[in-house]
Structure 1
């Protein structure tokens, strides 16, 4: 009697609804372990008819794992099984025989991937398989040593879903980046306006201090002349001189005028620093003196360094060349890096138990130096010359998992509301894309971190030409 193959698959099977739970939990970094795995297995000693019953009872399962005892033996897919069983006399030939007979005759192909394989990598692997293998389930080797199956359509669905997540994240990052850049540009314009308004009265004060000093000297000289001509003043004059403490006034007023002049100079330096920082949205490169740019940035952060008594060490190479760049954007990079260093030092300072046991002093070191390349022997190939700004701290350093993601957008180790995760990402973009440079990190746990900003030096003829044009 010829056996007939019963219905063991559902033609109305809705894959998207079947996989809805798996897709809902996916992230960009998901691997095969995050997808639905089919763990059904049978021993190859069993008769083939057991497979027919499994596929009859479960219309979703893509295949079955074959074991020989406790060892992995192979895999039989639903598609290949039905194809084989639909041939004439196949049911009569195989159903009452062990699974080894079917497996050896049909030579079912097996592809094995570890469950840690990223979904995107697994999808690419599945699509690169040749011929009918493209549609076969993939065997997944689990971390516990056992095996399971994953349906290829699920992998492709997951790949599509991850691409959608990636596009959404990219749009979110782009929007956040634009908002942050616009905020910084708006801040720059506001700072430029405030600096301009402050600069005029400060210049007035600074410019008139010398006149005040001269007038005071003249008046003091006149008083001394009167004292010489009238050594015995009237009682009223004598009492007035005593009331105003003329001797103290002669000594203290020059100090006050000197203090006003020093403060006015300080205000001019701060205003100049703010004006440099305000050029964030500038579109034209200009010659920059890096020591002045860094000193201006340190001046802006002076309040924080004084508050925590942070030692600032400057090591600037002598006769440093100017570079072409955007001073406002580089000031933003320096502020981001110095502010991060101060954050790390403040975090270490907050550990009172640590401070009680050591004589540690918080320190930031700023180095600027050049690195020149030598010409090849034939004089034709010339490597780039560089100027480097290195900002180091003696805080706690960074663990490997932080170091690996430090320049990623939205990655931050700071509490919610304190850090945006954009500072270092934007700094990296400014250095690498706007200035064709490199931003590198070296760090050691317990000793601190150092960011090195490598900026290319233009050849002097180019700089001279640009200077002449300006």
Structure 2
């Protein structure tokens, strides 16, 4: 709100009084002092006049038929458009003025009839000046808040950029360092497996050709349980082969997750990004002493390639999946007094990941959990930088704000959520398949 001040007016005053003589007197008095004056004979007209042109101050008679001054003031203060307009009550000298009620309903001052010009003008100017100062303070507070919000967003952007560079370098470095020795192991295991099989064939041939070996050989065979060793050796080689193959998959997932060499937008398979992120979080999904394993239910649609910043979008998946896991862990803590050996109420913690195409132009990815949900009082703060519900030292408060920035600002999309306490939460990302230039 701004005061309606011009070069020729000290302020716009609305005078409300059911006595025409009082209206004329106050109008003449205030106009002569440089104010712009409007008049209203009752409360209903006054409320309508405020909606048409917002006054800078209202002089309001208390004793009026139909709607008295207190009731008019209450309605003014209940309306967001008029609640900040200062109201000075008018009362005849011999009327009973309920000063407590006058201030309780929102009045800032009162004057009594008969009017003294100097007193009326002084009280009006005081309130208009106060209102002007309040408006200036609000404007400065707004600018300060805007500057603070911009600073926070800059900090989030800088932190995100630094995190992405550091994470990309770390993951790419680990993948490179692990890839070389595991490729060596994986490649040589094929030969080792063949050599083991050759040796086993030789031993079996010896046993066939010499079914009755001497006592020394029989003793060694019995001591080491040769049949067990032969069978177990084959199992061990197979297990090592599968383990090495798993490490190769993890290295590939690390490389896909970081996409360190892809700084520009590129058409990618969204499902590959989700899968690589799940590999990174596999250790958090496993069964613990407090809960069963978290089931991941995938409802993937047939998606086209999506043009995006793959590594940054993977960061969003990482944040949302981590939050879902945290919510399920919190469910365990909140239900601990009810837990039994089969984990009580939380018998089936799960995360549901679904994807689909909307209007042939947008891809939607939804990540839902059946955890504790989000309290209604926290929903307005979820995407604020540095806001976190986690204990000190357990959360930076940047995950959702960074995700919001990546989805909304960098991908021209939107990120939304739905939740009810105790019913879990769902976060949904919608981004264009091909963003506008």
**TM-score when normalising by structure 1:** 0.64
Structure 1 residue 184 corresponds to structure 2 residue 137 = no
- Output the CA distance in 2 between the equivalents of 1:360 and 1:143: 58
- Output the CA distance in 2 between the equivalents of 1:362 and 1:394: 6
- Output the CA distance in 2 between the equivalents of 1:281 and 1:414: 34
**2:373 counterpart residue number:** 397
**1:237 counterpart residue number:** 217
- Output the CA distance in 2 between the equivalents of 1:245 and 1:266: 31
Q: Deviations over 1:127-152 (max 9, x none)?
A: xxxxxxxxxx8449999413125431
Q: Deviations over 1:23-80 (max 9, x none)?
A: xxxxxxxx9xxxxxxxxxxxxxxxxxxxxxxxxxxxxxx9xxx999xxxx99xx9xx9
- Output the CA distance in 2 between the equivalents of 1:182 and 1:414: 23
Structure 1 residue 335 corresponds to structure 2 residue 318 = yes
- Output the CA distance in 2 between the equivalents of 1:359 and 1:155: 53
- Output the CA distance in 1 between the equivalents of 2:88 and 2:180: 73
For residues 4-403 of structure 1, the aligned pairs below 5 Å read 84=33, 110=58, 114=77, 138-139=86-87, 144-148=104-108, 149=127, 150-279=130-259, 282-306=262-286, 307=288, 308-317=291-300, 319-351=302-334, 352-356=336-340, 358=345, 360-371=347-358, 373=359, 384-403=360-379
Q: Secondary structure at the match of 2:381?
A: coil
| Cα drift, residue 405 of structure 1 | 2.6
* 1:398/1:412 CA distance change after superposition, 3 Å: same
Q: Secondary structure at the match of 1:147?
A: coil
- Output the CA distance in 1 between the equivalents of 2:296 and 2:219: 54
| Cα drift, residue 433 of structure 1 | 2.6
- Output the CA distance in 2 between the equivalents of 1:291 and 1:310: 22
* 1:349/1:81 CA distance change after superposition, 3 Å: same
Q: Secondary structure at the match of 1:350?
A: helix
* 1:176/1:442 CA distance change after superposition, 3 Å: closer
8 A contact 2:407–2:413 mirrored in 1: yes
Q: Secondary structure at the match of 1:409?
A: coil
| Cα drift, residue 319 of structure 1 | 4.1
8 A contact 2:419–2:426 mirrored in 1: yes
8 A contact 1:279–1:329 mirrored in 2: no
8 A contact 2:77–2:106 mirrored in 1: no
Structure 2: segments with no counterpart, 5+ residues: 2-10, 35-54, 60-72, 90-101, 109-126
8 A contact 1:115–1:143 mirrored in 2: no
- Output the CA distance in 1 between the equivalents of 2:303 and 2:309: 17
- Output the CA distance in 1 between the equivalents of 2:326 and 2:103: 40
* 1:367/1:176 CA distance change after superposition, 3 Å: closer
- Output the CA distance in 2 between the equivalents of 1:288 and 1:116: 52
Q: Deviations over 1:219-263 (max 9, x none)?
A: 110111111111221222222222332111111011111111111
**2:392 counterpart residue number:** 416
* 1:385/1:332 CA distance change after superposition, 3 Å: same
Q: Secondary structure at the match of 2:351?
A: strand
**2:423 counterpart residue number:** 447
- Output the CA distance in 1 between the equivalents of 2:103 and 2:214: 106
| Cα drift, residue 342 of structure 1 | 0.8
8 A contact 2:324–2:368 mirrored in 1: yes
Q: Deviations over 1:403-446 (max 9, x none)?
A: 23322222222222222222111112212232232222111222
| Cα drift, residue 278 of structure 1 | 2.2
**1:3 counterpart residue number:** none
- Output the CA distance in 2 between the equivalents of 1:365 and 1:221: 50
8 A contact 2:299–2:352 mirrored in 1: no
Q: Secondary structure at the match of 2:311?
A: helix
| Cα drift, residue 315 of structure 1 | 2.6
